[in-house]
């Protein structure tokens, strides 16, 4: 008798699981909506959970991802991959932000509509720990990190509007975007779920995609696992710490690299791969830059030639490097910091005194 019990309970479990699966499908979107959606989209049966929980070493220094509304993020994800939302129907956000490349592009400049070329290198969205934790003045106040290489967009909504309406990228007006979304049958159920109504407006499109972008980031690396078990030294900047002692799970070459990174790079790029220490810096690419970066937007002299300081998560996947994609690989980047830094009146101090020479 005893022997049969597990078989019976397994059978019961099987029935239960089967029941959950079909009930779920039936209830998450209505039956009609589910049928409609499955004609056009391949959505996961259970919508992804967009809650981001940071590793302890980042939350210990006060970095917290903001809550994301799941149904808005689900809708935002569909928008992110939808080529219909571009002027010639060939480009979506994902054309230039490819998941396999940590949401970057492997080209110096990306191709937008009608084979037009962007004027800067695509930003790797997977180089950031999480957008909502320190980006966006709407979520993180005046000191927030801004979007784009020249920090010209304050919020994720401004950023998306910028990409959708940029002539080199998707080249749509926001009215055209809203009209195209409205005309595609699969958006009605997603809007219903996200906003309680199928009515499409420009602001709701931006709200949905902002929820998706704000959930993005990378925070489960080997570095994070090691940092969680190590004692940090605060470096005096909000949300930043440096790990001086060797990580037990790192090879000696990795630990040597971490030492060099802490000595030469972490004062800008951050010692815990969290919020960048500086919002912008001139790292000495050009003595007479043509692309003025942040200064081209603000007009402030000391910011002419300064760019956003990116964090370097997933950096091995995101070549080519810098705002103009000038370096094809990491060796070239390191050789630049070692021997190629150009003088500039506003070169950031650590680079001016060439600490990077401690490299060799």
CB of 164 to ligand HEC, least distance (A): 5
Distance between CA 238 and CA 235 in Å, rounded?
A: 8
Q: Which is nearer to ligand HEC, 80 or 195 (CB)?
A: 80
Integer angstrom CA distances of residue 289 from 56, 190, 249, 337: 40, 46, 42, 17
Q: Which is nearer to ligand HEC, 227 or 312 (CB)?
A: 312
Q: Cis omega (within 30 of 0) on the bond before 320?
A: yes
CB of 218 to ligand HEC, least distance (A): 12
Q: Which is nearer to ligand HEC, 43 or 164 (CB)?
A: 164
Joined together, the tokens standing for residue 108 give 């110096």
CB of 257 to ligand HEC, least distance (A): 9
Distance between CA 316 and CA 304 in Å, rounded?
A: 28
Return residues touching ligand HEC (CB under 6 A). Answer: 80, 91, 93, 95-97, 110, 112, 118, 120, 122-125, 127-128, 147-150, 159-160, 163-164, 169-170, 209, 213, 264-265, 267-269, 281, 283, 285, 307-310, 312, 315, 318, 321-323, 333-334, 337, 348, 350-351, 356
Q: Which is nearer to ligand HEC, 200 or 209 (CB)?
A: 209
Under 8 Å CB-to-CB from 71, ≥6 apart: which residues? 47, 190, 193, 194
CB of 220 to ligand HEC, least distance (A): 19
Q: Which is nearer to ligand HEC, 105 or 226 (CB)?
A: 105
CB of 261 to ligand HEC, least distance (A): 6
Under 8 Å CB-to-CB from 14, ≥6 apart: which residues? none
Q: Which is nearer to ligand HEC, 29 or 123 (CB)?
A: 123
Joined together, the tokens standing for residue 288 give 């007479």
Q: Which is nearer to ligand HEC, 57 or 348 (CB)?
A: 348
Longest dimension (CA), the chain: 86
Q: Which is nearer to ligand HEC, 37 or 312 (CB)?
A: 312
CB of 14 to ligand HEC, least distance (A): 42
Under 8 Å CB-to-CB from 144, ≥6 apart: which residues? 134, 135, 136, 137, 154
Q: Which is nearer to ligand HEC, 29 or 113 (CB)?
A: 113
Is the Cβ–Cβ distance between 266 and 223 less than 8 Å?
no
CB of 216 to ligand HEC, least distance (A): 8
CB of 35 to ligand HEC, least distance (A): 28
Is the Cβ–Cβ distance between 299 and 273 less than 8 Å?
no
The values of phi and psi at residue 238, to 5°, are -55, 130
Which residues in 316-355 are b (16+ Cβ under 10 Å) and which e? ebbbbbbbbbebeeeeebbebbeeebbebebbbebbeebe
Joined together, the tokens standing for residue 320 give 């080519």
CB of 217 to ligand HEC, least distance (A): 10
Q: Which is nearer to ligand HEC, 55 or 289 (CB)?
A: 289
Residue 216 CB burial class (10 angstroms; 0-12, 13-18, ≥19): buried
Q: What is the dihedral of CA 66, 67, 71, 76, to 10 degrees?
A: 0
CB of 231 to ligand HEC, least distance (A): 23
């Amino acid at each position: 008798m005893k022997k049969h019990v597990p078989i019976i309970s397994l059978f019961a479990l099987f029935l239960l699981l089967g029941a959950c699966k079909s009930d779920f499908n039936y209830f998450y979107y209505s039956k009609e909506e589910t049928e409609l959606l499955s004609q056009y989209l391949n959505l996961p049966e259970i919508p992804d959970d967009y809650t981001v929980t940071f590793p302890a070493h980042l939350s210990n220094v006060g970095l917290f991802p903001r809550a994301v509304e799941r149904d808005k993020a689900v809708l935002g994800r569909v928008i992110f991959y939808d080529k219909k939302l571009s002027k010639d129907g060939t480009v979506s956000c994902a054309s230039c932000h490819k998941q396999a490349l940590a949401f970057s592009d492997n080209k110096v400049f990306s191709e937008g509509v009608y084979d037009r070329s962007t004027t800067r290198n695509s930003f790797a969205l997977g180089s950031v720990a999480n957008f909502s934790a320190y980006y966006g003045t709407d979520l993180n106040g005046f000191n927030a990190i801004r979007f784009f290489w020249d920090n010209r967009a304050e919020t994720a909504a401004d950023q998306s509007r910028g990409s959708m309406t940029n002539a080199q990228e998707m080249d749509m007006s926001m009215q055209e975007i809203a009209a195209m979304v409205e005309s595609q049958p699969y958006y009605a159920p997603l809007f219903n779920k996200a906003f309680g109504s199928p009515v499409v407006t420009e602001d709701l499109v931006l709200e949905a995609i902002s929820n998706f972008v704000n959930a993005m980031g990378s925070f489960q690396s080997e570095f994070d696992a090691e940092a969680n078990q190590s004692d940090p030294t605060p470096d005096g900047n909000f949300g930043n710490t440096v790990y001086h002692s060797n990580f037990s799970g790192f090879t000696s070459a990795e630990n040597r690299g971490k030492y060099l990174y802490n000595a030469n790079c972490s004062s800008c790029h951050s010692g815990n791969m969290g919020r960048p220490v500086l919002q912008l810096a001139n790292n000495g690419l050009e003595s007479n830059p043509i692309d003025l970066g942040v200064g081209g937007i603000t007009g402030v002299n000391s910011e002419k030639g300064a760019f956003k300081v990116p964090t370097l998560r997933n950096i091995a996947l995101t070549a080519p490097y810098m705002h103009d994609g000038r370096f094809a690989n990491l060796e070239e980047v390191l050789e630049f910091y070692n021997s190629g830094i150009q003088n500039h009146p506003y070169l950031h101090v650590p680079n001016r005194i060439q600490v990077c020479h401690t490299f060799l």
